Structure formats: C-alpha cells, structure tokens
Structure 1
Amino acid sequence: MPLRDIPDEDWERMDALRGDTPREEFVRRSLKKVLFPERTRDDELPFGTEPVIDGNGTVPFTFVDLFAGIGGFRCGLTAVGGKCVKTYEWDKFAAKTYRRWYGVDEEEVVEGDFTEIDPAGIPDHDVLAAGFPCQPFSLAGVSKKQSLGRLHGFDDPDQGNLFFAICRAIEAKKPPVVFLENVKNLTSHDRGRTWAVIWTHLETLGYHVFSQVIDASGWVPQHRERIFIVAFRKATFGPDIDQIDFQFPDPPPPAERPRFGDILELEPDLDKYQLSDALWQYLQDYKEKHRKAGNGFGYGIADPDGVSRTMSARYHKDGSEILIRHDPGENPRRLTPREAALLQGFDDDYARMYDHPDGFPQVVSDTQAYRQFGNAVSPKVVEAIAREIVPILRDAVFRSGHRTLLSKRLYRREAA
C-alpha cells in the first residue's frame, strides 16, 4: 500500500503514537526499524509502535531535491520511504510554498543560483533527483526564443548550462541513483544532439542509463508527456550492474485512471474564475483565425469524462489551454488553484503525509500558484517510477556478498 493511500483512521492511530515526531520522520523510522532492527536505537521510536510498510517491502533511502519547484519529487520519493536531506530552488515563491507544504526550515531549502553552489557541500545521498528547467528545450520555449533571435538549448546563457551543474554535483557526490525529468522535446532538440550530449555525459560519469517518455495521463487527468531518466552508478552496484532489469512502470488500466471531472470543485468562485466577455471573445476569434490558417492553435474545453491538455506555466495569463464549461450558454471558466494542484497530482493523500488534512494550502497568489503547478513534475508519476527503483536498491542491499554496498550510504544489513 502506498503511504499516500493509508486510510484516515490509520493516520489517526499513528498520530496518537508519534507524539511530536513529524509524520515524514515517523514513517521513515518505522520502515528502518522493521527492516533493520540491528541498526535502530531503542530510543528512535515510541515503545509499541507498529511500523507502516509497503506490502512488498521497501528500503529507506536519502535523496536531494534539485530545482525542486514545489516538491513533486519530494512527495513521490517520500511515499516510498525516501528522506530528503537537502533542497535547492532558485525561485523565492516556489521555495515559500515548499517550506510551508513540507514543514522544513530555512536551512534545508537553499535558494539561489545552483550553478554557484559548491557541489562538495551537498550532503551525501542515495538518489539525486532533479527536474531541471525545461524552457531551453521545450517546443514553446524554443519557438519563442527563435522568434526573438535568442539562444536556446545548451546555448541558453541562463538555463541551458544547468544540466552541466547537475553533472558537477554527480561527479562530486557519486550518488548510487540519478533520477531526472524534462520535456519530451529534449530527445529531439537540435536534431538529437542535445540528447546525445546528456546520455554521453551520464555514461562518462559512470552510469548505466535508462530513459522513457511517459504520459502522466495514466495517473492524473492530464496529457503531460515528459522524458524521465533513471541512471545507476556502475561502481556502486559493481558486478551486479549488468543484471539490473529496470523497467519503467506501465500506466494503470483505463478503468482505474482518473477523469478530469474528478478534480473539479462543486462550487467554484465564478466571479473570480469565469472568463470575462472580452477575454472569451478574444479567445474565440484567435481560435477561428488559426482554424482558417489550417492549424489547431487556440483554447481547449476539457471533457469531464476524459483528460485535459497539458497545463503550462503560462496558464495564469488566460487559462486558455484548459477551460471548463459549467452552464450552457455561459462563458467557460479556468481552473481554480485547488483544481490545478489536483490536476498535477498533489492530492490530499500526499498532503496528509505532511499534516495537511484538508489538502495542501495555497501559499502564494493565484498567478504564482499557476506558474508553480505548470512547472511541476507530477508526484504520482515520480512515485510510480520510484516503486520500480526501490526493489533494485533493496535487492542490492540484501544480496549476500554485494561488494560495494551502495557506497555505505544506503541503510543496509551488515555483511556476513
């Protein structure tokens, strides 16, 4: 059972046991105690605590969250037993949301330009997670930069070199696992040369690399295709590296996938979120102009029984890519910030892991919230992929005679 699917009554039972210990830390310690009792101090958990553990077993691990945004990686990795040891995010509004949502202090979230961070100062960790900025490689970002005569991809002076900053962190810290996310266009940007550079750099750093484009629509009611990269360090896994049979997850069967209508509020504030007559007329005229030109640009009305288009960081401007009909003959409305959170997968199950029983609170303005959700990685997809990574970590730890023991950073049984 995923941690985010624990019933409310079980959370209440754990809350009675954990005292002042934060939920995230309580669950991590519980996992450690049941898997590695010989490495757990008697005072680490309240007496009589019954641990919560995935039915197939898991293994506690540590991770760093680079270019963290609002914590899509944090939610997904924590749900399978991960503990975040450091977070890096340049945007002050995203960092504000992150701190409030996850109850972390000022020191855990490092704000600023990651390219100026000394990678040697990053704490040791088992998984390096990063959804590095996608604008230099996205179709929309590339088209806009080309129209303005600006550089894109690795030539972008502001964001194009962030991948190499990640590589410097990998080289310095040598994490057993690297877990990255970016836009689908990364594989085709610059006629495939950008992707070749990324793949070659990871292999040169000593990693066995896997990648796949995944549409989040299997887990959230939104078409959102992203490239995910999972890489295992060869020196860490030693002779077992060739036996690693990592597979990206298959989406749930169609009958189990969420519908767009599932995330909609029953009584949204129409005065605030319904389009004005002027904006609605503009969007209709814009779509008609492009229809006559033979392309499909324009607004999109989401089907309650289906999935929506991709939510982008520009959603705050007019909401045109995802509009909602509520009454026939009336102007459509845009998503509320609460609906945008659910559309991306930041649901109440994750929120309860961090003591938010009524869902994640809105910390910033609507404009900033839409930007944050549009830039986010879906935690449900992260969790699904992480559930495929964890067995490999677990098997490496438990395998008798494993020579490298994951650089002695992963919680493990002592070698016999």
Structure 2
Amino acid sequence: MIVDLFAGPGGLDHGAALAGVPSVGIEWDANAVATRLAAGLATVHGDVRRYGPADFPDAKILAGGPPCQTFTVAGAGAGRAALAEVLDAVKRMGARETVDPVVLGDERTGLVLEPLRWALEAVDAGRPYEAIVLEQVQQARQVWDAYAEVLRGEGYSAVTGVLRTEQFGVPQTRRRAVLVARLGEPVKLPEPSRRPYRRGVLQDAGDARLAPWLSMGDVLPDRGPFTVISNYGTGGDPKNRGRRTNAEPAFTVTGKISRLRLVDPDGGELPRLTPSEAGRLQGFPADWPWSGGDISQQIGNACPPPLATALVEAAFASIPRQQQDAA
C-alpha cells in the first residue's frame, strides 16, 4: 500500500490504482478532499505534519508531491530564493539534526521537507519504506538530488530526473522533477512510452519504437477544431501569448486553466473548458467527479495519473512478490 502525502484530488492515487497498488492519501484542502471522497479514494483529511509512518503501518511505499507554488516560475519564487537553505536543511536532517522549517520563510517551502521526515522516521523506527516516489516542478530537481544523497546513506538506491509528461500519455507538455528510490534494490526511472513533442514536427513522425504523443483533440474529440490562447509564461505581454491547436498537446495545465481562451478556425470565441475537459488534459478520466470549489486549482495542482502509473510501476517492480501481495 502507498501512503500519499499532499494527495490532492487523487492523481497519484488513481495512477497507482491503474498499476494495481492501493493507496491512502493525506490532504488538508477541503475542496480536494471532496473530490477524493466522491471518487471513492481512501482519504485522511488533515495536515501531513501532524502524522507520521506509525499512523500508517501497512504502507510500504511513500509518495508525495509537496506544494510547488514557491518553486514554480509561475509563483513568487520564495522556494527558489531559499534553495540553499532547503538543501542545507536536507543534509542536516540526514545527520539527524533538528530543522525548523520556519527558517525557510514561506510555509509552503518548508513542506518540501516533509517526505524526508517521514522516510527517516520510518528508518529510525526499523520499518523503512520499501520504495519512495516523489514529484514536483522541475525547479525542485536539486532538492530531490539532495534527498537522493541522504537516502543512499540509508541503504536506498535512488535516481532523480526531469520527465516530460507527454511521453507518458498525458496530452500536455509538462515537465516534472521526480525521485524514485528502492530499499536495497537497483532502481531506474520509468522509460517513456511516447515520443516527445516538438513544435512543427508531425505527431506520427519520430522514433517508430515509441507511440505518438497525444493531442488535445485526441482526448477532446467532440470539441472539433480549435485553438487555445494562453497567457502562461508570457509575463502579461499580449504579444507573447502562446497558441496551440487541437492537433497539439496542451500547454502546462495550471490553476488558471479556466482562463484559457478557445477560438474556432475563424477566430470566433468558443466556450471555455469544462472541469471534465480540463481534467482530461491533465490525464484524468472524463468522468472524474470533480467536487467542492476551486476546481481549476485542484486540476492544476494534481499529479497527472498516467505519469503516476509509470512512477509507481518503476518503484514497485523490485519489491518481492509476496510483499506485493501483502500490500
């Protein structure tokens, strides 16, 4: 079983279920909890800082995607500014020194240390996790590298990298920094199953050993032809607004996805994306029961389920079959 920290509306949990691995998620946001409960996901509504491994003794895999707003280019950047302090805190935690996350400034920045606290508490209790899976925005890669160094000192094999979600069946170009670790067993990142998206390169061109990437039109066939106009990454300059047609993957899905403009081939305005459509661009099923409020933010913050499946399969592969059965 997986214990999923910062579980959100269930992206990692759904991906894990597709890999045949049950999970329980901890989530503090009432809106995301409403979606999880509507989806039938095992959920603890609470703050991960108030729990630890002893509260989930059956979990063999630790997973999580701490809040990323302070690390992402779309945020104010407190996490990036505090990167040196974060890396030092990771090293000190590995040496079992007490670290006060408050010194890192923005409260959300300190949350990136929580998975390591859980992992080390489990080691010190004599019940280490068999595997660990973490994901965040690509700017957090250095944090995962520091995690990996600490985990190797505790007997884990650990790898980190930045994966492109369109190469794992997500109809969206999104890059995520990931860590996969196994206790006492070799580990490697999941192999892409699809080609990378390149602007101007046809969907069926490229490495014949890999499947084509998915376009927005592949998952939203009822929409017909359309163009998405995005402000993401433009710095507010209208001249820099990106455009992609339904024959391409979506831009990175963020909590502002409800603001995206859609136009028809003649430039006429089209209805904006519904929650179901926005969720599909993040890799969720069309019938995912989005509930509560702030649904766009739920979708933007979620781990894409197809990527989660690949990560869980990579992490779970070396666990002995009898332990898998027990999970």
TM-score of the aligned structures, taking structure 2 as reference length: 0.76
From 215, 233, 246, the equivalent of 1:304 is: 246
CA distance in 1, matches of 2:129, 2:213: 34
Maintained 8 Å contact 1:209/1:231: yes
Residue 215 (structure 1) shift: 0.9
Between Structure 1 and Structure 2, whose CA radius of gyration is higher? 1
CA distance in 2, matches of 1:135, 1:216: 19
Maintained 8 Å contact 1:265/1:339: no
From 133, 138, 147, the equivalent of 1:184 is: 138
| Structure 1 pair 265–384 and aligned structure 2 pair: CA distance change class (3 A) | same
From 341, 362, 374, the equivalent of 2:290 is: 362
| Structure 1 pair 156–332 and aligned structure 2 pair: CA distance change class (3 A) | farther
Partner of 1:337: 275
Give secondary structure in 2 for the equivalent of 1:78: helix
Maintained 8 Å contact 1:301/1:325: no
Partner of 1:48: none
Residue 267 (structure 1) shift: 6.2
Give secondary structure in 2 for the equivalent of 1:220: coil
From 245, 254, 257, the equivalent of 1:315 is: 257
Maintained 8 Å contact 2:187/2:314: no
Residue 309 (structure 1) shift: 1.0
* Alignment deviations for residues 178-209 of structure 1 (CA, whole Å, 9 cap, x no partner): 0110011112xxxx5x4553333333443211
Partner of 1:387: 313
From 72, 82, 95, the equivalent of 1:138 is: 72
From 316, 325, 337, the equivalent of 2:263 is: 325
RMSD: 3.0
* Alignment deviations for residues 233-277 of structure 1 (CA, whole Å, 9 cap, x no partner): 23xxxxxx3xx2534222325543221112336369xxxxx99xx
The within-5 A match list for 1:6-405 is 62-84=1-23, 86-101=24-39, 103-104=40-41, 108-143=42-77, 145=78, 152-153=82-83, 154=86, 155-173=104-122, 174-187=128-141, 192=142, 194-218=143-167, 219-234=169-184, 241=185, 244=186, 246-253=188-195, 255=204, 256-264=212-220, 266=222, 286-288=236-238, 291=239, 296=240, 298=241, 300-316=242-258, 318-319=259-260, 323-326=261-264, 328-331=266-269, 333-348=271-286, 359-365=287-293, 368-393=294-319, 396-397=320-321
Which one-letter code corresponds to 2:130 in the other structure?
P
Which one-letter code corresponds to 1:185 in the other structure?
Q
Which one-letter code corresponds to 1:117 in the other structure?
Y
| Structure 1 pair 346–179 and aligned structure 2 pair: CA distance change class (3 A) | same
CA distance in 2, matches of 1:285, 1:123: 47
The percent identity for this pair of structures is 26
CA distance in 2, matches of 1:286, 1:165: 34
Maintained 8 Å contact 1:212/1:228: yes
| Structure 1 pair 72–329 and aligned structure 2 pair: CA distance change class (3 A) | closer
Which one-letter code corresponds to 1:308 in the other structure?
A
* Alignment deviations for residues 144-181 of structure 1 (CA, whole Å, 9 cap, x no partner): x49xxx96554244112223222222123311000110
Structure (1/2) with the larger helix percentage? 1
Give secondary structure in 2 for the equivalent of 1:232: strand
TM-score of the aligned structures, taking structure 1 as reference length: 0.61
| Structure 1 pair 285–374 and aligned structure 2 pair: CA distance change class (3 A) | closer
| Structure 1 pair 286–333 and aligned structure 2 pair: CA distance change class (3 A) | farther
Residue 232 (structure 1) shift: 0.7
Maintained 8 Å contact 2:158/2:187: no
Which one-letter code corresponds to 1:199 in the other structure?
A
CA distance in 2, matches of 1:383, 1:100: 21
Q: May I ask how many residue pairs the two structures share in their alignment?
A: 281
CA distance in 1, matches of 2:220, 2:317: 36
Which one-letter code corresponds to 2:275 in the other structure?
P
Maintained 8 Å contact 2:187/2:315: no
Give secondary structure in 1 for the equivalent of 2:69: coil
Partner of 2:100: none
Residue 331 (structure 1) shift: 2.9
| Structure 1 pair 377–245 and aligned structure 2 pair: CA distance change class (3 A) | closer
Structure 1: 4+ residue segments shifted above 6 A? none
Structure (1/2) with the larger strand percentage? 2
| Structure 1 pair 90–245 and aligned structure 2 pair: CA distance change class (3 A) | closer
The runs of 5 or more residues in structure 1 that have no matched partner are: 1-61, 235-240, 269-273, 349-358, 399-408
